[in-house]
Amino acid sequence: MNNVHLIHSKLLSDSYVNIDRQKFDSKFGWIVVISSLLISVLEDGYAYTCGLFYEQFLIIYGQTETITSIYISIMNGTIYGICPFASGLIKVYGCRTVSIIGSILTITGMLLSTIFDQSIYFHFITIGLLAGCGLGLLSITKLIIVTNWFDQKLALALGIAECGSGFGMAIFAFITNYLIQMYTWKGAMIILAGLLSTCLIFSALYVEPNCPLPTSKHDMNSKSLFCQVIKETTDFSLLWKRKSFLLFVLNQFFLSLVFFTPIIIITDRIKRSGFGLSSSSIYFCFGIANGFGRILFGYISTNFDIDNLWLLIIVTIALGATIWLTNLAHTFATIQLFYALFGIFFGANICLTQVVLVDMLGTNKMANALGIISFFDGFAALIGPPIINLTVNYDDDNNNDKNNDIYSTSILITSIISIGSVLFLIPISWLHHKQNSNEQNEIISKHKKRCRH
C-alpha cells in the first residue's frame, strides 16, 4: 500500500464513508427524507408559530412581555439543550426509537399545558421543558438519519428534508391562528397535539443504515446502556481536539443569541404597527421563503463546485443584513418582503450548517458534533431573547412617538451580532487544512517507522 492510499484509508476510517456510501443514496434513503420532511412540517411548524399563543397568554395572565416570552425562550433553549443527551441516545438506541420518544414527550407536554393552566409559570414546564425536550429529540434525529444515508447528494437531501420546517411554519401560521379564534388557545393546542401525533407514524418509517455502532446494545444490560448514553452525552472532547470545530461552535453560539428574536416578535410587532392585519401572513411569507432557501442552497451546494464554508459565510452576512432591513419597513407589503428575504437566508444558514459540519468532521461524528453545538445553541437561545427584550422595554419607556417601532434597537443589535459571528468562521478553513496536513504527516511518519522495523 503506498502512502497516498494509506492516508486516504486513515482519513476515511473515522467516517461511514468506508462502507460504500454510494449504495445509501437509494430508495430507502429517500423514504427517510420524506419522513423527515413530514416531521419537519409538524414539529417546526408548531415550534416556530408558538408566538401566536404569545398574545393570548399576555391577555390571560396579565404578565409583562419579558415574562411571557420566557416560555418561548425555555422551549427554544430546551430544544437545543437536550441534543447532547439525544445524541447519546441515538448512538445506543438508534434514530427511530429516539424519534418516537420525542413524539410522545411533545404530545404529552402540549396536552398537559391545557390542564395545568392556572399560571404562565406552568407553561414554562409543560410547553417549555416537556414539549421542548420532545421537539429537541425530533429535531436532531431527522438530521442524523438523513446525514447517515447520503453522501454526494447530502446537501440536497438535507435541503428537502428541512424545507418542511419553513413550509410547516407557513401552514401552521394560518391553521393555528384559525384554531385559536374558533376554539380558544386550549382547543387549538389539543387539535395541534393530535396533528403532531402523526409523528409517531413517520418516526416508525425511519430505516436505519447498516452502519457499525460503537457498541452493540444486544451485548449490554440496561445499566451498561445507560452508562454508554451518559458517556456519549458528556463527550465534549471535539472542542479541544479540533480548534476549527471550537470556532464553529462559537459562531453558532453568538448567532443563536439573536437567531429567533425577529421571529418571536412578529405578532407583537404587527399589532403595534397599526396596520390592523394579522401576523399570520408574515409567518406565511417567512415560512415559504425559509423552505425555498433550504432547497435552493442545498441544490447550489450539491451541483456547483463551491466551498460550503465560504457559502455559509456569505449567507450569514446576508442573514444579518436582511434582519436590519426589517427596520426600514413602513408598509405591510415591505414587512412581508423583508421577512421573506430574511426567511431565505435563515433556511439557507440552517441547511449549510449541517453540510459544513460533515465536511469538517465526517459522518459518524455528526451526532456528537450536533449534540455539542445544540447544547451551546440552547443556552444562547435561552438567555438571548430575554436580554434583547431589555432594549425593547427601554425603547418602550422612552418612546414618545407611538408610531416608532420599539423593536428597532433590538433588531439592530440582532443584525450586528449575526454579521459579527462570521469572524469565527473565516479562520476555520485554514485551521482545518492545517490539522488534516498534520494528521497526514503523522500517518506517513508512523508508516515509515513500521517499514524500517
Tell me the CATH number at 260: 1.20.1250.20
In a domain, 7, yes or no: no
* 279 part of a folded domain: yes
Q: What pTM was computed for the model?
A: 0.74
For 244-256, the pLDDT digits (tens) are 889 999 999 999 8
Please give the Cα distance from 180 to 15 (Å, whole number): 47
Q: Residue range 281-298: average pLDDT?
A: 86
> Looking at the domain assignment, is residue 118 inside a domain?
yes
pLDDT at 277: 64
Each residue's pLDDT tens digit, 110-128: 999 888 877 778 888 888 8
Residue 210 banded pLDDT, cuts 50, 70, 90: low
The DSSP H or E segment spanning 386 is: helix 366-397
- Report if residue 341 sits inside a domain: yes
Residue 2 lies in a domain: no
59-87: pLDDT as tens digits: 777 655 556 567 777 887 788 778 788 88
What local confidence, expressed as pLDDT, does residue 341 receive? 92
Could you give the C-alpha distances from 41 to 14, 168, 195, 259, 281, in angstroms and in order? 33, 4, 11, 20, 17
Helices (H), 209-331: 222-233, 238-241, 243-258, 261-264, 266-273, 280-303, 308-325
Report pLDDT for 152: 76
Binned at pLDDT 50, 70 and 90, residue 3 comes out as very low
Whether residue 10 is contained in a domain is answered as no
State how far Cα 14 lies from the chain centre: 25
Domains in the chain, number: 1
Tell me which residue range forms the domain holding 54: 21-452
Residue 15 domain-assigned? Answer: no
